[in-house]
Structure 1
Amino acid sequence: MNRAPHVVVHPDADVLAEATAARLLTRLVDLQSDHSPVHVVLTGGTVGIAVLRAVAASPVRGAVDWSDVHVWWGDERFLPDGDPDRNEVQAREALLDALGDALPADHVHAMPARTAQVPDTDAAARLYAAELARHAPADAALAVPSFDVLLLGMGPDGHVASLFPGHATLSVSDRTVVGEEDSPKPPPPRVSLTFPAIQAAAEVWVVAAGDGKADAVAAALRGAPATEVPAAGAVGVARTLWLLDVAAASHVTVDPGDTPVHPARPAADGPGSTWAEVDDLVAPLLGDLTVPDGIAKAAATAALPEIAVTAPQGRLLELLARATGSRRVLELGTLGGYSTWWLARGAGPEGIVVSLELSADHAAVARHSLDATDIGHRVQIEVGPAASTLQRMIDDGTEPFDLVFVDADKQSLARYLELVVALSRPGTVIVVDNVVRGGAVLEADHPDDRVQGTRQFLERAAQRADVEGTVIQTVGRKGYDGMAILVVR
């Protein structure tokens, strides 16, 4: 049993939620290649529900076979069915309703609500324990399903699920579910998995944000007793992962030999605020930003992930296209069309941009925004998996491109490099964004698949005889990252 926690730190709560959603989707796809069904335990709270919203908005959500997923909860507020404060109701609004028939109704295992037939938390706990037992493997040591990923939020007092410091529920070891009638958080009556049920999960992910959680996070990671800081008892059989923002991790210290803390990216405050102010200072160099600002606003209104390049970076793409005389531009990752607009400007009135986007919804937002500008007719958006689209273009003998901008899923960068080189000519410039990842690329054992994908890309690029290039580290409004710039020989 691996009890050592692994800690990953993100710059703020928004990025934490987006990154956790991406991590969860990737993990679900990986798990489904290995076994069936997959069991996931959800959590509520501000960040927990934000994660579910990010899953719903992700273009990768379609890669998961939701008919193979069973959804459970770690705890629930004991309220009537449909009460908006129930974790289940919030989860349905954030994600489950959006999945529709893809997720079978009988795969959603909500904790019982308060009814005349279920009058108290003990009755609800017994019913949920029975539901868990019905889905437990025949040879299971504990009557619970084989939880693959169990998500937990954490309170400022260090509680997880509805297991609170000093409460008798912490010591319950003969049941998988327990009723809590007097929690210190409203509403007092709750139902919760016990520590034995939590600790039976293959992977336990504790997700926490905000400086109000910093003391409890630090205490749990120092190994405080679970009776004092319940989060310290949230451990998985194979893996324990702490996903934090900078504020929640601010009191964590690491001694030699301890599990390392992996910063996903520097904080948006401190030096980051200076970087943002410099971006603002150089804005006059960029010209009239009315049109790209409108594209960015449309993307935000459509709740697209806020991961587009910044205005100075967009201007760099435009200038690269102009400086290289590029007339045929290929882009991987349209999103809301922000970088697409800059690339089309650089390609000039005789140029064309072919932009590949996985999500039809994102492509529709970009199409609408770009068609409202004077360059929309020069942008062709192809919807579908980029690797498949690129291979089709190769098979069709598509004319080579002069400039390629890759801002798509990092896990596939090495494969994308191979394909875009096949669609290039000698002298084609290839720009790949987000390849430094706050310095995380230095870590060979980093747990984030995006980091590993980026490391593999950099290794492949260095091995190829048909490209030469460099990596430029960047700072700005989006923090610390970098771009790879390659030229095809």
Structure 2
Amino acid sequence: MSTHASPDVVVHPDAEVLAAATAARLLTRLVDLQSHRAPLHVVLTGGTVGIATLRAVAASPARDAVDWSQVHLWWGDERFLPDGDPERNETQAREALLDALGEALPAQNVHPVPPLSDDVPDVDAAARAYRAELGAHAPDGLRAPVPDVLLLGVGPDGHVASLFPGKQTVHEQRDLVVAEHDSPKPPPERVSLTFPVIRSAREVWLVAAGAEKAPSVARALAGDDVTGTPAAGAQGTERTLWLVDVAAAQDLPAADAAAPASPHPVETAPGSADLAELWARVDDYTRVVVAEPDEAAAVAAAAAQAGLPDIAVSPHQGRLLELLARAVDARRVLEIGTLGGYSTWWLAQAVPSDGSVVTLELSEAHAAVARASLDAAGVGDRVDVRVGPALESLDALVRDGAGPFDLVFVDADKQQLAAYTDRAVALSRPGTLVVVDNVVRRGAVVEADHPDERVQGVRTFVEQLARDPRVDATLLQTVGSKGYDGFALLRVR
């Protein structure tokens, strides 16, 4: 059985949206990972979209939610040029992001490929030095750190990093770093990570924009040999994610391309693009029933403007939360996972004016966006946004006897879903409803050996739920503009 993940494809309208969405996705993933692992290792890429992504990270208020002191940055490849040369990926990355992070990112956490200098006179010496740097930060028993996210641009010829078609370096299985003396694109001398490092990464994200990339994207996803299309060999052990714009996806079969992300990305499993488009069209058609209020739309727009990831509930799901809250005459609501406050708004306007919603958020940057939006929508006076790790906040609520709540909505990281739900029930009364979102994971929940920790977190939750005598429960699969997933509904006995 393969130890690498089959690719997912997400299509965005154009290169600008692609860069912004990739930045938001990266920030969200780092915050998610830091809830249970540190330090993190991220491999950066250069190129137009790669550097635009770093600029979008720098511009996002959510960047401060990441603990950069626990992030190490590496590069997939580098042009062998003097320090500060504007063509170096490192130089461009410093101007786009690293300088903006300042002291938040310790200098010792940045690992550039050594530039041309008196101490490093040739590209082979640079490759040896970078290989040694990887080894110095490798866990016991390994030769290099395991990248948590490894970003790669894709060239029109299908190259990734500086592994070019027809070059022997694409077949390298021993060395972690190679020197390229005769690159087909200038400058000729480069240093590159090899497939042993790339394919060790937990997640590999390949980013491509423009019609000139379309043939290589299609060849890579069709499984072309790495000799002709090196990008075909770039795979992560837990996830392989292709992030492309419409132009770069134009040669893909319909079954391989996710629906264009306009205005919201619709991420689907390979082969389900036609269904995903249909689900989104049905949501659009039935919005006449939901009739998203202007206030809710304004909260969503503020979150998008702040660069927050587009992972909030849909209007249809928000309306469901409102109706459930009204059905149990909820006066006190608990939400785990605020993000930009979109679902919070639906819950807040469902409780009476003297009711309250306590919502828990890990990121102070996200919480600030939510508070401002909810105040502007006129419901801020009944919302208490609490910042910090959700489990700590929940334990504090239990200690303080803060319950009971009439309705609880759980929409946070899935790794601790079982613990969150346990605390939610402890803060409830007989008859309280608990809604737990995103518990199907596009069907991955059925895979007992799935490598994604979020999937395993949901499986632990389901197994705990099945034997919990405190609740009656059901779990429903859902489809819509947010793709294929599902939610659990619990009623406390």
**TM-score interval, smaller chain:** 0.7 to 0.9
1:363-420 deviation digits (Å, cap 9, x = unpaired): 1111111111222111111111111111001101113000111111111110101101
- Relative distance call for 1:395 and 1:63 in structure 2 (3 A) is farther
Deviates more, 1:11-20 or 1:411-420: 11-20
Distance 1:352 1:393 in 2: 14
Q: Is the 8 A contact 2:30 2:66 kept in 1?
A: no
Q: How far 1:81 sits from its partner (Å)?
A: 4.9
Q: How far 1:278 sits from its partner (Å)?
A: 2.3
Distance 2:299 2:374 in 1: 8
Distance 2:203 2:254 in 1: 17
Give the equivalent residue in structure 2 for 1:285.
289
- Relative distance call for 1:366 and 1:67 in structure 2 (3 A) is closer
- Relative distance call for 1:473 and 1:168 in structure 2 (3 A) is closer
Q: How far 1:277 sits from its partner (Å)?
A: 2.5
Q: How far 1:111 sits from its partner (Å)?
A: 2.5
Q: Is the 8 A contact 1:268 1:479 kept in 2?
A: no
- Relative distance call for 1:358 and 1:94 in structure 2 (3 A) is farther
- Relative distance call for 1:296 and 1:171 in structure 2 (3 A) is closer
Structure 2 counterpart SS, 1:438: helix
Q: How far 1:333 sits from its partner (Å)?
A: 1.0
Give the equivalent residue in structure 1 for 2:144.
146
Give the equivalent residue in structure 2 for 1:217.
220
Q: Is the 8 A contact 2:357 2:384 kept in 1?
A: yes
> Is it true that 1:423 corresponds to 2:427 in the alignment?
yes
> Is it true that 1:316 corresponds to 2:317 in the alignment?
no
Q: Counterparts in 2 of 1:89-100, with a 5 A limit?
A: 89-92=91-94, 95-97=97-99, 99-100=101-102
Q: Is the 8 A contact 2:69 2:105 kept in 1?
A: yes
1:101 maps to which of 78, 82, 103: 103
Q: How far 1:434 sits from its partner (Å)?
A: 1.2
Deviates more, 1:103-112 or 1:14-23: 14-23
Q: How far 1:327 sits from its partner (Å)?
A: 0.6
Where do 5+ consecutive residues of structure 2 fail to align?
13-17, 209-213, 257-266
Structure 1 counterpart SS, 2:112: coil
Distance 1:109 1:323 in 2: 55
Distance 1:268 1:55 in 2: 30
Q: Is the 8 A contact 1:360 1:383 kept in 2?
A: yes
Give the equivalent residue in structure 2 for 1:230.
230
- Relative distance call for 1:311 and 1:195 in structure 2 (3 A) is closer
Q: Is the 8 A contact 1:9 1:249 kept in 2?
A: no
Q: How far 1:177 sits from its partner (Å)?
A: 3.3
Q: Counterparts in 2 of 1:323-342, with a 5 A limit?
A: 323-342=327-346
Give the equivalent residue in structure 2 for 1:123.
122
Give the equivalent residue in structure 1 for 2:471.
467
Distance 1:22 1:448 in 2: 15
Distance 1:303 1:60 in 2: 9
1:372 maps to which of 376, 380, 384: 376
Give the equivalent residue in structure 2 for 1:163.
163
Q: How far 1:94 sits from its partner (Å)?
A: 5.7
Letter in structure 2 aligned against 1:203:
A
Distance 1:134 1:41 in 2: 14
Structure 2 counterpart SS, 1:465: coil
Letter in structure 1 aligned against 2:300:
A
- Relative distance call for 1:97 and 1:252 in structure 2 (3 A) is farther
Give the equivalent residue in structure 1 for 2:260.
none
TM-score by length of 1: 0.80
Q: Is the 8 A contact 1:407 1:433 kept in 2?
A: yes
Distance 1:305 1:231 in 2: 27
Distance 2:322 2:41 in 1: 46
2:241 maps to which of 221, 240, 243: 243
Q: Is the 8 A contact 2:78 2:192 kept in 1?
A: no
Distance 1:235 1:429 in 2: 41
Q: Is the 8 A contact 1:122 1:178 kept in 2?
A: no
Letter in structure 1 aligned against 2:8:
V
Where do 5+ consecutive residues of structure 1 fail to align?
255-262
Structure 2 counterpart SS, 1:147: coil
Q: Is the 8 A contact 1:474 1:483 kept in 2?
A: yes
Structure 2 counterpart SS, 1:76: strand
Q: How far 1:304 sits from its partner (Å)?
A: 0.6
Give the equivalent residue in structure 1 for 2:360.
356
Deviates more, 1:168-177 or 1:411-420: 168-177
TM-score by length of 2: 0.79
Distance 2:289 2:255 in 1: 42
Q: Is the 8 A contact 2:32 2:413 kept in 1?
A: no
1:102-152 deviation digits (Å, cap 9, x = unpaired): 43213312224568x69xx97245235225425635999x9x962322725
Structure 1 counterpart SS, 2:113: coil
Q: Is the 8 A contact 1:157 1:216 kept in 2?
A: no
Q: Counterparts in 2 of 1:18-33, with a 5 A limit?
A: 32=38
> Is it true that 1:207 corresponds to 2:205 in the alignment?
yes
Letter in structure 2 aligned against 1:87:
N
> Is it true that 1:192 corresponds to 2:173 in the alignment?
no
Distance 1:94 1:233 in 2: 29
Q: Is the 8 A contact 1:217 1:252 kept in 2?
A: no
Deviates more, 1:406-415 or 1:172-181: 172-181
Q: Is the 8 A contact 1:162 1:190 kept in 2?
A: no
Letter in structure 1 aligned against 2:304:
A
